[in-house]
Structure 1
Amino acid sequence: MRTTLELGQEIGYAKLSIEAVAARAGAGKHTIYRRWPSKGALLLDSLLSLHKSSLDYPDTGDIFADLRTQIHAAVDLLGNPPFGPLYRALVSEAQHDPQLAAALNERFISPQAAMTVARLETARDQGQLSPDFDLSLAMAILSGPLYFQFLITQEPVTHEYVDRVLRALFTGMGK
């Protein structure tokens, strides 16, 4: 997996191949194919090995500060190599590979969304948010602008931009 990340960073996802990874890692390509059916699946596991628990939510009792801390960590991860450029390529590949799309959703996107919704639910239960605060809509409002800027416009997603999104969310859906 380390070789996949190194090679992906050096030559880009388009030129990355299981054969090239095998050659550099000193492994047989059949050995790699037994575990990963495609370079997308290999890259997904490689990227997931990088982030581990770095995107867990703190719970300080201040939902705004906790979201801000977690999303800033995500932005820092996405904004830097090797994760950012390779994650962007992986999301692109997932548009053409239904198995990869399902795996990405199941193993990364859905768990992150579930953690966000759980943290919002805790804040709502603690009275930090209105009882009718729409948790799934809040998740969509938080992630939509960030993914739009990261994937579509490819502008840097800065901490300042995150703060603007959070202020807009809490102004529109707050207590």
Structure 2
Amino acid sequence: MLEATSELLATEGLGAVTFERVAARSGASKTTIYKWWPSPGALAAESYFARSEPELVFHDTGDLLVDIRAQLRSFVRLLIDQGAGRVIAELIGAAQGDPNLSAAVSERYTMPRRLLAIDYFERARERGQLRADVDANLLVDQLWGACYNRLLVPDAPLNEAFADALVANALMGAAATEYRSNWEEQPLRASS
């Protein structure tokens, strides 16, 4: 059912995801689909989450700049190169008027992703890479929120160069003095 939904999302968009069409594509009964998802939007959201989760693994090499840059680059590639940007933009838009979808997006996607990043930033703080007074929630908003802004308000490009600049800009101000001096001594290492 999730794969059938993912195919519909990729080819036709959120409006194509109906329980009838998913049932026809997947061979599952509509009753089964209704049993697991309260709305087509919630089904579409879960399909997106299942598809995006492997792409957004949050690695921890112990180097704040390298790890966050890799994470943001993966996020941007998922949105732009893999076509997930249109899908998440549609889900975010539809969630404004669908309480089931809004809950699904928050519970299964945005909040778990936010908590992974906050947890990472707390570990970076313990390693002495972030200042003690940095608000990890705000740092998440600055980094990922800027990407969502460029996705939803396409006045400027969303690409890996933007992700790199965003990470350097946001983290330079948030970094502990000693960690920041290490960045300034060495040119930024390119990571792919």
Give TM-score scaled by structure 2 length: 0.83
CA distance in 2, matches of 1:53, 1:76: 13
Task: Assess, with a 3 A threshold, how the Cα gap between structure 1 residues 43 and 172 changes in structure 2: closer, same or farther.
Answer: same
What letter corresponds to residue 37 of structure 1 in structure 2?
Answer: P
Deviations 1:112-153 (A, max 9, x none): 111111111111111111122221221111122111001222
Q: Aligned residue for 1:44?
A: 45
Task: Assess, with a 3 A threshold, how the Cα gap between structure 1 residues 113 and 49 changes in structure 2: closer, same or farther.
Answer: same
5+ unaligned residues in a row in structure 1: which ranges?
none
What letter corresponds to residue 46 of structure 1 in structure 2?
Answer: S
Number of residue equivalences: 175
Q: Aligned residue for 2:61?
A: 60
- Alpha carbon RMSD of aligned pairs, Å? 1.8
CA distance in 1, matches of 2:21, 2:99: 24
Q: Aligned residue for 2:165?
A: 164
Q: Aligned residue for 1:93?
A: 94
Q: Aligned residue for 1:30?
A: 31
Deviations 1:33-86 (A, max 9, x none): 121121111111211221234322222221011001111111111224453322
5+ unaligned residues in a row in structure 2: which ranges?
177-192
Deviating more after overlay: 162-171 vs 19-28: 19-28
CA distance in 1, matches of 2:20, 2:82: 22
What letter corresponds to residue 122 of structure 1 in structure 2?
Answer: R
Q: Aligned residue for 1:173?
A: 174
Aligned runs of 1:72-87 on 2, under 5 Å?
Answer: 72-81=73-82, 83-87=84-88
3-state SS of paired residue (1:60) = coil
Query: Among the aligned pairs, what percent are the same residue?
Result: 35
Task: Assess, with a 3 A threshold, how the Cα gap between structure 1 residues 145 and 24 changes in structure 2: closer, same or farther.
Answer: same
CA distance in 2, matches of 1:143, 1:76: 13
